[in-house]
Every structure is written in structure tokens, then in C-alpha cells.
Chains A and B, each alone.
Chain A
Amino acid sequence: MKAAILYVLAGIAGGVMGGMGLGGGTLLIPLLTLFLGVAPKQAAAINLVSFIPMSVVSCIIHAKNKLLDFKKAFLVAVPACVTSVLSSLLAQKVKGEAVTKGFAVFLIVLAVSMLASRSAALVKDAFAGLSGALNFPRAGKR
């Protein structure tokens, strides 16, 4: 059992990223398993439990700001609920190590694709800026 403050700090780091909409769980789970030695399924459960109060609060704020599209939320939530019941039950049956390896592949694929798309956008912006500066009105547009 590590010091309580370390768990709180890991939670804060995950929470900050989650609050900014960058994916809190994808940071919190590796922090807990890699640095604090928490078992993979324990880390998963903590992330799921922690997400509930945070997202209730943020849903209220977003609804007030009229940023919530309820119809589209249902469109994703209903099919996702079905598979999440099945996959949660499956997770209870498999070894923690298998969950970690699967999650590792998931993280790598996501990180590489996000880095690639963000870099492409950055390069495009740079070209658009450059051609704007050099006054080539057609370049940089698609």
C-alpha cells in the first residue's frame, strides 16, 4: 500500500486530462498500473467509478451551455451499452495481463493515428500560412 497522496496525485493527473476532454482514462490506467503497481482490472474499475461523478457534473454544465446533442448521444450510447455489457463480463474472465496487453495495443494504435492526423493538420496550416504570407491565394486550400 503506497502513500494515499500518490493515489490522489494520479487521480488529479487523469482528472485534468479528462476535464479537458483529452481522454482521462487513457492516462489514469497506465499511471496506476505502471507507477503504483495497481492490478489491471482494479485500475479499470477505479477509472470507471471515478468517471461517473465527473461526467455527471460535466454533463450538467454542457447541457446548460447547450453543447449536448441528446439524439446523437443516444445513437452511440444504445449500441455501445450492449457491447460494453458483453466486454465487461469478458474482462472478468480473462487474465489481468491479457487486458494490459490489449490496452497497450489500443493505446499505441490511437496515439500513432492521433499524432499522424495532428501533424498533418499542423503541416497543412503551416503551408496555408506560408502561401498566405507569400500571397498565393489558391495554395493551401483544398
Chain B
Amino acid sequence: MDRIRTFFSSHKKTAVFAAVASALLTGTANGLFGGGGGMLAVPAYTVLLGVDERRAHATAVAAILPLSTISAAIYIANGNFDPSFGYFVSGGVIIGGIAGSLLLKKINTKLLEFVFYGVMLAAGIRMLVG
């Protein structure tokens, strides 16, 4: 991973080209699945463009905002947003989002990451076979 980083830091044009390519993938995934674009945008920032982890997360959120807004509008226009329970979930997300941002300063996320990716793997398998 370090070698990849060193390569891109000395080949700036290639890095920008690769970042644009991964941005195209980010948009595709985010629109098609309705989320998950950030999972692709963060590594593009850290690995390709040499942005540190914290700045990469912050910048990825800003980059995803316009495309999520456009995608949300398309989904709503096609009648895929059900306000009868959608607003309950959104309310929960806002409460959880604030709690998560505050927690981030206090806990070690390393162990949590392992649990999270384990859950992701299990959910993926369940969705594939279910």
C-alpha cells in the first residue's frame, strides 16, 4: 500500500486520472445502490491523492452530497420514497449521526472497523443467497 502511495505521489497526472476514474465508479455505485459511494471516494483520496484519513473522510462527505441530492430527487420523482416510515428512519439517522460524530473523538475505531466489515460481509452473503 505504501508503495502504491509513493508511486502516485510522484506521478501526479496519473493520480488525477485514476481519481477521476474512481469518481465515475463512486457515482455509479451511489446512484445504482442508493449509497456506498463514500466507501470508494475515501480510498481515492487517501491512496491516489495522498490526503490524510481525517481530511479524506470530511472531503468525501462534501463530494457525495451533490450526487446524493440528485439521486434522491430521481428516486423520489419515481415514487420510491415512502414518507410513512421514511421520516422515522431519517430522524434516527440524524440522531445517530450526531452521536457518531461525537463518539468518534472518544473511542478507538480500529476494533469497531473489524466488526463493521464483518457485518458487511455477512449482510452481503445473506443478500446474495437470500
Q: Please tell me which one of the listed residues A18, A56, A103 contacts residue B96 in the complex, with CB atoms under 8 A apart.
A: A18
Contact A57 to B124, CB < 8 A, known contacts A7-B85, A29-B33, A102-B33? no
Q: Within the assembled complex, what's the spacing in Å between the Cα atoms of A19 and B105?
A: 11
Among the listed B31, B35, B51, which residue makes an inter-chain contact with A87, where contact means beta carbons less than 8 Å apart?
A: B31
With known contacts A50-B93, A72-B45, A42–B80 Cβ distance under 8 A: yes
**Interface of chain A, main secondary structure:** helix
Inter-chain contact B76/A45, CB cutoff 8 Å: yes
For A108, list chain B residues within 8 Å (CB): 121, 124-125, 128
Contact check, B72 vs A45: say whether CB atoms are below 8 A apart.
yes
Given the interface pairs A92-B78, A118-B117, the reply to whether A68 lies near B58 with Cβ below 8 Å is yes
Whether the Cβ atoms of A83 and B28 lie closer than 8 Å is yes
Q: Shortest distance in angstroms between A62's beta carbon and chain B's nearest beta carbon?
A: 4
The residues in A between 51 and 78 inclusive whose CB is less than 8 angstroms from any CB of B are 51-59, 61-62, 65, 67-70, 72-78
Interface of B is mostly: helix
A10, A12, A28, A89: which has the most chain B beta carbons within 10 Å? A12
Q: Is A9 an interface residue (CB 8 A)?
A: yes
**Closest 9 pairs between A and B when the two form their complex, measured CB to CB:** A11-B92, A44-B34, A15-B96, A19-B100, A25-B35, A80-B27, A107-B124, A87-B31, A83-B27
Interface residues of A (CB under 8 A from B): 1-2, 4, 7-30, 32-34, 38, 41-59, 61-62, 65, 67-70, 72-92, 99-108, 110-112, 114-115, 117-118, 120-122, 142
- 20 A-B pairs besides A34-B126, A62-B61 with CB distance below 8 A are A2-B85, A11-B91, A11-B93, A17-B96, A18-B96, A18-B97, A21-B57, A22-B112, A26-B36, A47-B34, A76-B26, A77-B64, A77-B66, A82-B27, A84-B37, A84-B71, A103-B33, A106-B29, A107-B120, A121-B1
